[in-house]
Structure 1
Amino acid sequence: MKFGKEYASQMVPEWQEAYMNYDSLKTILKDIQRMKQRSRQNGGLTRAMTLYRAFSGLVQGQEKTPISPSKKDIESQYILVNSVSKNGSESYETTFLKVAEEGGECEQEYFRRLDDEFNKVDNFLNILAFSKIMKKYDKITSRRASTSYMRMVDNSYLSISDEVTKLMERVEDTFIKHFSNSNRRKGMNNLRPKTKKERHRISFSLGLFVGCSAALILALILIIHARGLLDKRGKTQYMENMFPLYSLFAFVVLHMLMYAANICFWRQYRVNYPFIFGFKQGTELGYREVLLVSFCLAALALTSVLSNLDMEMNPKTKEYEALTELLPLGLVLLVIIVLICPFNIIYRSSRFFFLASLFHCICAPLYKVALRDFFLADQLTSQVQAIRSLEFYICYYGWGDYKQRQNTCKSSGVYNTFYFIVAVIPYWSRFLQCLRRLCEEKDPMQGYNGLKYLATIIAITTRTAYSLYMGFSWKIISGIFSAIATIYGTYWDLVVDWGLLQRQSKNRWLRDKLLISSKSVYFAAIVLNVLLRFAWLQTVLNIQFSFLHRQTLITIVASLEIIRRGIWNFFRLENEHLNNVGKYRAFKSVPLPFTYCEEDEDHNE
């Protein structure tokens, strides 16, 4: 691993500003390197540099008298490092002695920035980083400035003082005595940063299920085309009955894929998501583990779809209609059994973590709201169609429709009533969480946030009424409330949750602190969020496409909302990590492993 990546991986995320900005210094060195290359291509030194050397007496080849060792040492230097006093505190300034040479201004800027970094981290020093960056400078410029600069670093207070060493030893002894039962090996294992071991079996299994999923998708397309299933009379019946059952798995898999992408980017940009969510140390899932579970579920669902089609088309098994229809129900029951399995298999700690947060969301406002709880509730607001699919499961199998392969659910008043209720459950849970936090924290922003979810509940209710009963009046009402809820929600996403659109920011219309260097990414995310927020227009305007079945169009719109939520997740947690906009939790301290004293094998649950 290159030093820059290793250095970044060892940073304490909450203290990133206290570390040397190694990448910015490397960028300056690359500029210096390009200047040196251009200089060599142009045939040597410029006239200005020649005059400078001639008049400054630095051309040693013209010296006729021997130079004393002290004088020679001074003239061979390229920098002078001085200690100065500013505002009552000691700092260091480096004078670059070759400013007149070509590219000298860039090198002078490098040392100015290097001094800024050193003075910034003088109380939080990483000597190895300064040694590495100065070696790169010497290699690029063919100078020997690192000796002089590192002499200053080595003579700084932190390097020569033994106070830090004594404090470290005292902390280690105290921790080992009180939290590790005087077991030094166990205590030091807890205090040292841990790197999760990358397991080859996860990579192998992930590749296996990705390949299986791709092969099954291809097989499904070929079977549909070869047997002309889209042209058969049973197409409408299949789309009304079976498609809503299997689309549930598509929604779940898509959401998990977006979450895996979030984890990948959070790690890349050093967002401390395990600490923010409150995962037990060492048990949080990486993006590979989430992808493994996602593609495993996808492969099972696709296998079930192909088995269902094969049994339905095969004359020998076509008479077993009821058994054929039970395949998706069996898969749902299998997922539920795995989710609640008490044995230490299939990421038990993560499963129980999810179930605990889900229980808190369902029981809101009875439990104190943690960030992981309201974050999960926000995810559920983007899975309304999946929750409606679960309602369809209960109706289709509970009322026996699967035996006759018919769908009488929508003709039932009870089903239509719950069709309203299940759609607003996630938003109602989120509304109650806001009320709980308003009462506890006395923060009016929580009240405004609750009004946002209340407006969304009204909008969803009116849109559902329009989709069931049609009518011009329902269309107008649903359009008005949907517009209000969308504008309100879009403003909250961009300004409050993401902390963007700040006019006075040094990054205009964004915010002062950005983890992604390319500002266009933020503007693209803003545009995408606005466009995907208005996906509800399809329901209000009753937009239909002749080549798409109504259930397919509903699935596409629901998938767009899941994608929007996945984009929202990254910037929401980035803003929480940087600025604590939600005023829920500060991240100025690092969680010590006082309650994490289990053995190593328990960390990989």
Structure 2
Amino acid sequence: MKFGKEFTSHMVPEWQEAYMNYNYLKTLLKEILIFRQRKTMSNQVNPTSKVRSLKRKVSLFRAFSGLTSDHHHKKVKEDEVIMVSAMHQPDEEQGGINSLCYQTVFLHSLDEGGEFELVFFKRLDHEFNKVINFYKNKVDEVVKQAKELNIQMDALTALRIKVHHPTSTTSTPFIDETNTGANPLEVIQEFEMSEERYQKKRLNDIKEYEMASLDVLNRIKINATTETPLSTMKSVFNSLNVDLTYNKNELRNAQGKLKQAFIEFHEKLRLLKNFSFHNQLAFSKIMKKYDKITSRSAADTYLKMVEGSYLGQSDDVSKLIERVEAVFAKHFCNGNRDQGMKNLRPKAKREKHRVTFFVGCFFGCALALLVVIITNMNTKYLLKSEEQTRYMNTIFPLYSLFGYLALHMLMYAGNVFYWTRYRVNYSFIFGCKPGTELRFKQVLLLSTGLSVLTLAAVLGNLDMDMDTHTQSYKVVTELLPLGLVTVVVIIAICPFNIMYRSTRYFLLVCLWHCICAPLYFVTLPDFFLADQFTSQVQLLRNLEFYVCYYGWGDFKKRNAQTCNDSSIYKTISIFIAVVPYWIRLLQCIRRYYEGRDSTQGLNGFKYFSTIVAVVARTLYSQKKGLTLRIVAASTSGFATIFSTYWDLVKDWGLLNRNSENPWLRDKLILPNRSIYFLAMMVNVILRFAWMQTVLDFTETPSLHRNALIAIIASLEIIRRGIWNFFRLENEHLNNVGKFRAVKSVPLPFSYEEEEDKDL
């Protein structure tokens, strides 16, 4: 692998703009190479005398070396290619504070073709100053975070003492005297909590440690502990910060939050260390390439400056990494360093060949089963007999549920594939635990496995024995769909570590947050999942049909009239269709309440208009009538136009007329801009598929109504899959613009500084 690709593969996606632009510098070197090649060819054609006269002409503009200079000193200056100096200049981004800036002077700019090399060194300086300023700002940022974590650890250690030794009034965390001081790198210290060790130290009169007072507990308040619907209700009337009661639940919650904070902090430190290493390597590579092309010796001078700069000399990050690892192992892993390293440095997931094998195996089985099912349908004339209507009204809705689910998973697998290909950090955006995110082959494995189970059950229903006299069916075959639902639910809630337990748990937590909206703080995974449900309304209605068919319908005779003719069933059907949009409306209200963002208010109004449109469409499909049709058409049209605008402008960030890419956005991930315009057109067309209910497209004689509804529902799932990719791309670019590469973990304690008594 060439270094350029390797360098790109090691970039932190959210920091990619802060890295040295290696590819652009390579293009500048190619221009120098092309010029020199042309010069060589021209020299082969022209006489050598012209070259000599040119050399003489250039030499007239060289700096005067003097008459009394030492011979050795003169030789060094003649061989010198560049001079690098550091200067201070005001930085507007830092409020006018002087920042260190490096500038390279190219001493051969008057040589033929020197202007190309001059441009190269100016760009090289720009890239180096960009890298070093970013690195220094990030180091200052982690030092401040280290100070905050030190305060939090003081409070946690004191809380541990108070919980486990309530009668203690003096003492306990021990702070190493050698670590106290103003040096910000010494802010994360190791604490001793063993009173027995303190007593031994005291008896031996070893003054290596001094005791810290528990007075810190008087200046802190604990933030809201693990968020629950009850705690959210209380927070409406009370402050989020409450006084400590010194119980084990507070200690456990605080310790869990601080543990996660240390993990994220350590990850940020590792990213910074890798950032420094790979950028230094990139500067080394580009300068060696420059020397090779120009046959000069500038690399040693420039790389010496790089090594002597803050980027090469600062060991702040390395020291912090060592201290964080020591503290984490001691206080969160009972001194077990190996366990601490497993938590802080999780191993990268390895691609397993058996996953690829089973994906291919299941895909082949699904195709074979599909061919057999189509053959059986044609052989038994199922779709041309009187049994067609009964089959489409009962069995088809039962199995189409799994078709919607498998199609959604298939679209998500495609999303993951292209997110990975274009380096969209979906794992970080969703907040997955490192190493637990599903890759596209694993999602395909689940999708194809579900498809095989579903098609096998469908084939079992088609091959069942039927009594032509009584038209009664075997109970076992009729219970196949219900058994399949049961298997899927059991796998989803299975507590054992099989079938990607961490991902299933993460999904169930997000689902619970959606159900309890707005009682939980809304994160991106929560509203992203709720958006998926807005495209699975038909799946939810099929679940309702399951309950009615097997609860009150005569499933032994495939009779669903009890459900279809029930007014209660129709009313619940309206409610089921509204639930996903209602959840999103409540989430928007919660986000507006948290941040007072008017955009969330408009987003909530969008979902409210969709609720009105869904109710109107459902009522029209059940009762018909010209008035209901006009109301349904007008509300659906408004909701569709509003939602389409929101998709393209707000969720995707497109249709910006004044952007660098007209009618798109300034930054794009896909190399071909036409894909964005095509995606917008497809989104608009599929959005207007909603209108099929109002325009009575479901009454076409060539297809059964349930079949056409399934096609429209599948098109909406496909539209959602396309929406997912561009929505997450836009979110990724927002993170890149703000250089957010690690999660922000809320800290457990609020620290109140003592007021100045003199005031």
Task: Give the TM interval when normalised to the shorter protein.
Answer: 0.7 to 0.9
Q: 1:389 maps to which residue?
A: 542
| Other structure's SS at 2:519 match | coil
Which residue of 343, 347, 356 maps to 1:203?
356
Which residue of 326, 331, 335 maps to 2:488?
335
C-alpha displacement of 1:576: 2.5
Relative distance call for 1:45 and 1:418 in structure 2 (3 A) is farther
Q: 2:393 maps to which residue?
A: 240
Q: 1:465 maps to which residue?
A: 619
Amino acid at match of 1:307: G
* 8 A Cα contact 2:472 2:557, kept in partner: no
Q: 1:306 maps to which residue?
A: 459
Structure-1 separation of matches of 2:307 and 2:49: 35
Relative distance call for 1:168 and 1:440 in structure 2 (3 A) is closer
* 8 A Cα contact 1:321 1:403, kept in partner: yes
Which residue of 591, 594, 607 maps to 1:440?
594
Which residue of 555, 568, 588 maps to 2:710?
555
> Deviations for 1:219-254, whole angstroms, at most 9, x for unmatched residues?
333333444443333233322222111111111111
Structure-2 separation of matches of 1:69 and 1:279: 63
Please say which of residues 100-109 and 226-235 is displaced more in the overlay: 100-109
* 8 A Cα contact 1:46 1:102, kept in partner: no
C-alpha displacement of 1:361: 1.4
Which residue of 77, 91, 94 maps to 2:101?
91
Structure-2 separation of matches of 1:266 and 1:248: 27
User: For residues 310-389 of structure 1, what are the structure 2 equivalents within 5 Å?
Assistant: 310-311=463-464, 320-389=473-542
Q: 2:559 maps to which residue?
A: 406
Relative distance call for 1:568 and 1:42 in structure 2 (3 A) is farther
**Counterpart check, 1:22 vs 2:32:** no
**Counterpart check, 1:541 vs 2:695:** yes
Relative distance call for 1:471 and 1:121 in structure 2 (3 A) is same
* 8 A Cα contact 2:522 2:591, kept in partner: yes
Relative distance call for 1:325 and 1:446 in structure 2 (3 A) is same
| Other structure's SS at 1:373 match | helix
* 8 A Cα contact 2:466 2:472, kept in partner: no
| Other structure's SS at 2:463 match | helix
Structure-2 separation of matches of 1:535 and 1:271: 30
Q: 1:477 maps to which residue?
A: 631
* 8 A Cα contact 1:577 1:587, kept in partner: no
| Other structure's SS at 1:528 match | helix
Which residue of 454, 465, 490 maps to 2:608?
454
> Unpaired segments of 5 or more residues in structure 2?
60-70, 91-97, 136-275, 748-759
C-alpha displacement of 1:362: 1.7
* 8 A Cα contact 1:49 1:101, kept in partner: no
Structure-1 separation of matches of 2:338 and 2:647: 47
Relative distance call for 1:201 and 1:3 in structure 2 (3 A) is farther
Amino acid at match of 1:575: N
Relative distance call for 1:351 and 1:188 in structure 2 (3 A) is closer
Structure-2 separation of matches of 1:443 and 1:281: 31
User: For residues 54-133 of structure 1, what are the structure 2 equivalents within 5 Å?
Assistant: 54-56=53-55, 81-87=84-90, 88-94=98-104, 109-123=119-133, 124=135, 125=276, 126-133=279-286
Structure-1 separation of matches of 2:489 and 2:538: 18
Relative distance call for 1:251 and 1:140 in structure 2 (3 A) is farther
> Deviations for 1:201-235, whole angstroms, at most 9, x for unmatched residues?
22222222122222222333333344444333323
Greater Rg, structure 1 or structure 2?
2
Q: 2:311 maps to which residue?
A: 158
Q: 1:12 maps to which residue?
A: 12
Larger RCO (alpha carbons 8 Å, 6+ apart): 2
C-alpha displacement of 1:337: 1.1
| Other structure's SS at 1:285 match | coil
C-alpha displacement of 1:121: 0.8
| Other structure's SS at 1:540 match | coil
| Other structure's SS at 1:89 match | strand
Q: 1:500 maps to which residue?
A: 654
Which residue of 659, 676, 679 maps to 1:525?
679
RMSD of the alignment, in Å?
Answer: 3.8
| Other structure's SS at 2:610 match | helix
Q: 1:565 maps to which residue?
A: 720
* 8 A Cα contact 2:467 2:473, kept in partner: no
Q: 2:154 maps to which residue?
A: none
Amino acid at match of 1:56: K
TM-score, length-scaled by structure 1? 0.84
> Unpaired segments of 5 or more residues in structure 1?
61-67, 596-605
Please say which of residues 346-355 and 440-449 is displaced more in the overlay: 440-449
> Deviations for 1:140-164, whole angstroms, at most 9, x for unmatched residues?
7777654444333233333244455
C-alpha displacement of 1:296: 0.7
Amino acid at match of 2:101: S
* 8 A Cα contact 1:216 1:303, kept in partner: yes
Structure-1 separation of matches of 2:115 and 2:385: 76
| Other structure's SS at 1:477 match | helix
| Other structure's SS at 1:122 match | helix
Q: 1:602 maps to which residue?
A: none
> Deviations for 1:84-105, whole angstroms, at most 9, x for unmatched residues?
5543433334466787999876
Relative distance call for 1:184 and 1:39 in structure 2 (3 A) is farther
Q: 2:740 maps to which residue?
A: 588
* 8 A Cα contact 1:52 1:100, kept in partner: no
Structure-1 separation of matches of 2:627 and 2:43: 81
**Counterpart check, 1:253 vs 2:412:** no
* 8 A Cα contact 2:14 2:735, kept in partner: no
Q: 2:141 maps to which residue?
A: none
TM-score, length-scaled by structure 2? 0.68
> Deviations for 1:96-148, whole angstroms, at most 9, x for unmatched residues?
67879998766655444333221111243321122234455566777765444
Amino acid at match of 2:679: A
| Other structure's SS at 1:92 match | strand
